[in-house]
Structure 1
Amino acid sequence: MNGTLYGVSVGPGDPGLITVRAVEVIRACGVIAVPRSSDGAERVALGIAENAVPELGKKELVELSMPMTRDPDRLEAARAAAVESLAAYLRAGRDVAFLTIGDVTVYSTYGYLHERVKAMGFPVEMIAGVPSFCAAAARLGEPLTDAAKPLHIIPAPYEGLEEALALPGTKVLMKSGKYFGEVRRLLVGRGVDARMVERCGLSGERVYRSLADAPDDAGYLSIIMVKE
């Protein structure tokens, strides 16, 4: 019998925000997979899970190379290699938990692997979690949206960012990383009401009620909230 691949959300950072279901799946799986990339997010996800499931350290750990690049050839090669690595465990009847920060359905590298592994005939399942932008809004003590106001989730490097900022309602900007300085200058220049939480729920967490106070070297794990 083939094993099952689980995409497991571990939440934004605070181990208290990892779900009971995620803990159950991590405990049940003999193999733990994490993406390996230059932003170090895989170590963040692994650290969150280890705090919630101490016995995780006794399980087999598989690091899958996922380069932070827009080069389609490099991305395709990395994804194909990751799928083959996962498939080898699944063929052997071993269940695999692929850990991802935040929620597995939001800007997660797991999504690419999920569809390909599923197409190969293996059972797959996504385990929902607390999205980072929800945790950031709670940390700020503000609702993301209310009444009939829309909510937009936008990647900060998005080429149409200026147009997206004109949309009604609340805008959440994710994945700013190396683009943060440019994004901050754009937002400050437009005089919008924006605040940011960096490394929400993790060591080194920083909260900025004004982007003007934030440094240009804010990390990849930064959530910017723009409200009307």
Structure 2
Amino acid sequence: MSTRRAFMSGTFFGIGVGPGDPELLTLKAMRLIQQADVLAYLVGESGQSQAKQIAVLALEGRQSSHSDIVIPMPMSTRREAANNAYDEGAKAISEALEKGLNVAFLCEGDPLFFGSFTYLMERLEGKCPIQVVPGISSIHAAAAELQHPLTVLKESFCVVSGRHTEQQLVEALHLHDSVVIMKAGRARPTIMKALALTERIEDAKYVEYVGRDNQLVENDVRRLQNEYGPYFSLFIVSRKERGTR
């Protein structure tokens, strides 16, 4: 008896599609996307899904008679709006799973690393079989693009978010040899200030929209405008002198 029939429901897959380059999709992710009965993904206010666009190569070989589950995600700082969207998405996914359909949720980057899949998994955990397929994160894609090691030898390594306070950013930059600051976006001026306060401007590199057609790489962050940047952007900060720690 198959897993699907034994559980009397379909399986919910969290599929990491990577940061932007369609060729970074794993073989397992491609196979499961092509085999899934139903695809689910977030869409922005434009009605476009970046995760679906990244998975374009897998979609070329896909055949299904079932409609996709499209989850509109409002661009709002209010967490209530996002929670409502995830509630509605989880409900639609549950209905498909109860029919015995396998649902694959397409998630940019890695599903469990700042991934939107996390919030759907929380709502469906214990109610259905769940499988997670890891994806290449924007951190690793950015390091590869920069040809810059994230950490070596005994260096300490830390990942923080642009949503942290200036003081938290300063503490991380003081305490750790290598720091990645994710989701820079609206926090870019604060991040630049924290880099200046800790005298780590020269240690920093910046990447936005890694792996996409509009990718931007800046090895000298002093050239950046002191203004908001895009949501999909990050700083990689590491010591200039390496290999002795």
Same-fold call, TM > 0.5? yes
Please point out which of 21, 32, 39 is paired with 1:32: 39
1:141 matches 2:152: no
Secondary structure of 1:6 counterpart = strand
Give the C-alpha shift of residue 131 in structure 1: 1.1
Q: Distance in 1 between matches of 2:15 and 2:115?
A: 11
| Partner residue in 1 for 2:124 | 117
The number of residue pairs the alignment matches comes to 226
Q: Are residue 213 (structure 1) and residue 219 (structure 2) matched?
A: no
Please name the residue that 1:200 is paired with: 210
Aligned residue number for residue 76 of structure 1: 83
Indicate the SS of the match to 2:125. helix
1:187 aligns with 2:195: yes
Question: Which residue identity is paired with 1:132?
Answer: S
Letter in 1 for 2:50: V
Structure 1 unaligned residues grouped into runs of 5+: none
SS in 2 for 1:60: coil
TM-superposed CA distance for 1:198, in Å, is: 1.1
- Secondary structure, aligned partner of 2:10: coil
1:161 and 2:169 are equivalent in the alignment: yes
Percent sequence identity is: 29
Query: Contact conserved, 2:34 with 2:63, CA < 8 A, in 1?
Result: no
- The superposition leaves residues 107-164 of structure 1 with CA deviations (integer Å, 9 ceiling, x where unpaired) of 0111111122123x21111101111101101110111001121211111111222222
- TM-score relative to the length of structure 1: 0.90
Matched, 1:108 2:115: yes
SS at match of 2:230: coil
The one-letter amino acid of 2:141's match is A
1:45-82 residue CA offsets vs partner (Å, 9 max, x unmatched) = 11110134313586632221333445343343222222
Indicate the structure (1 or 2) with the bigger Cα radius of gyration.
2
Q: TM-score, normalised by structure 2?
A: 0.84
CA distance, structure 2, for counterparts of residue 10 and residue 78 of structure 1: 21
Q: Does 1:224 align with 2:232?
A: no
Give yes or no for contact 2:41–2:69 (8 Å, CA) kept in 1: yes
Contact 2:33 2:39 in 1 (8 A): yes
Compute the displacement of 1:222 (Å).
Answer: 0.9
